[in-house]
Amino acid sequence: MVARLEDCDHLGKGTCSWRRSFYYWVVMNDDFDWLIERALGEDVGAGDVTVQYFVPEDRQARALLVARQEGVIAGTELARRVFLKVDPSLSVDVLIEDGARVATGAIVMKINGSARSILTAERTALNFMQHLGGIATQTHEYVQMVDGTQAKILDTRKTTPGWRKLEKAAVLSGGGVNHRMGLYDRAMVKDNHLVAEGGIAALQQAILCLKHDHPDVEVELEADRLSQVAEFLKMTDVDYILLDNMSLSELREAVEMRGARTKPMLEASGGVNLDAVRPIARTGVDFISVGALTHSVKAMDLALDFVGS
């Protein structure tokens, strides 16, 4: 029996199957073979000398990938591909899919075949799953903290180079919501963008030009004081206002200033941690962005245990 706490009810908006489908869309529709090959290349190099000299070539084995802590699983498809990249003859069965929350002792994956191949692939497969599982697990912790409020937990662009789609998919597995994927799918205007030097009129004109040329691109303006919020609320075609490092009282006032309008949506950012996130959520903001979801994640404790064949 596979040990698990729950499958999908922690995911909030949307369904477990939808989030899993998105994850597999990311993995299946983007060629991550280059990442798998590079990861194996830096680990295996010219060959695994340990298995070559200390593990008989004809030895068969059965291994179980096991969760050593409670958490949310992510990265199973990458791990499966790692094992098969090392040895296509291996049998790899994924028992728990991405997005499922598991208990300590849960058996996530079963691998059968050459002992040499399993041992060679082990660390690379675990590296993918431990990192992505850590992101999913930490995201889930933040999502739990804002349960019962309207706030959604957002990731950021503070991702590992080359891993962005994978890390953002892991955020979804944990029940979070993706912020912009890159510089191309949302304009985010901050104080250091020179267009702001022309004042509100120049800013409004730039927004109108952007929307004319790229109607599907969203616009977000950063405000670090309430007077800016007041000005931005008068503008048209502003989709989001980012409330940067504002106090709880300022966040509440910004929500009141928007009134019954649904746009622009309000995003709180800066100084967010597990202790601070619920009070922030209770101010009424729509989103809370957390860079730590991806840039300061603790790896999920997973291990590969060899058992009798």
- Residue 44 sits in a domain whose CATH number is 3.90.1170.20
Note whether 153 and 263 are same-domain residues: yes
* Residue of 18, 289, 293 lying closest to 134 (CA atoms): 293
Catalytic choice (244, 250, 267, 286): 244
Res 29: pLDDT: 58
Note whether 184 and 221 are same-domain residues: yes
CA dist 171 and 14 (Å) reads 14
Beta bridge partners of 306: 63
Mean pLDDT on 247-267:
97
Note whether 137 and 200 are same-domain residues: no
Note whether 252 and 182 are same-domain residues: yes
Note whether 186 and 115 are same-domain residues: no
Note whether 212 and 130 are same-domain residues: no
- Residue 210 sits in a domain whose CATH number is 3.20.20.70
Catalytic choice (190, 225, 263, 298): 190
Note whether 71 and 164 are same-domain residues: no
* Residue 5 pLDDT greater than 80, yes or no: no
Please state whether the peptide bond connecting residue 264 to the residue before it is cis, i.e. omega within 30 degrees of 0: yes
Beta bridge partners of 94: 109
Tell me which of 133 and 200 has the higher pLDDT: 133
* Residue 8 pLDDT greater than 90, yes or no: no
Q: 136, 174 in Cβ contact below 8 A? A: yes
- Catalytic annotation on 123? yes
Note whether 138 and 211 are same-domain residues: no
Structure confidence by residue, pLDDT tens digits, 81-104: 999 999 999 999 999 999 999 999
Note whether 190 and 248 are same-domain residues: yes
* Residue 59 pLDDT greater than 80, yes or no: yes
If DSSP codes are grouped into helix, strand and coil, which group holds residue 290? coil
Q: Global pTM?
A: 0.90
Note whether 219 and 186 are same-domain residues: yes
Mean pLDDT on 41-52:
97
Note whether 127 and 27 are same-domain residues: yes
Res 25: pLDDT: 55
Catalytic choice (85, 123, 164, 211): 123
Residue 148: how many other CB atoms lie within 10 Å: 9
Res 192: pLDDT: 63
Tally of domains within the chain: 2
Catalytic choice (158, 164, 211, 282): 158
Q: 289, 154 in Cβ contact below 8 A? A: yes
Note whether 25 and 81 are same-domain residues: yes
Residue 120 corresponds to which tokens in the numbers above?
């060679």
Catalytic choice (222, 250, 267, 286): 222
Range of the domain at 104: 4-144+297-307
Structure confidence by residue, pLDDT tens digits, 182-227: 999 999 998 766 555 678 888 999 999 999 999 999 999 999 999 9
- Catalytic annotation on 190? yes
- Catalytic annotation on 244? yes
Residues 6+ apart with CB under 8 A from 179: 154, 155, 156, 157, 186, 289
Q: What is the mean pLDDT of the chain?
A: 90
Q: 199, 228 in Cβ contact below 8 A? A: no
* Residue 1 pLDDT greater than 50, yes or no: no
Phi/psi of residue 94, each to 5°? Answer: -85, 115
Res 2: pLDDT: 36
Helix (H) or strand (E) holding 129: helix 115-145
Helix (H) or strand (E) holding 219: strand 218-223
If DSSP codes are grouped into helix, strand and coil, which group holds residue 296? coil
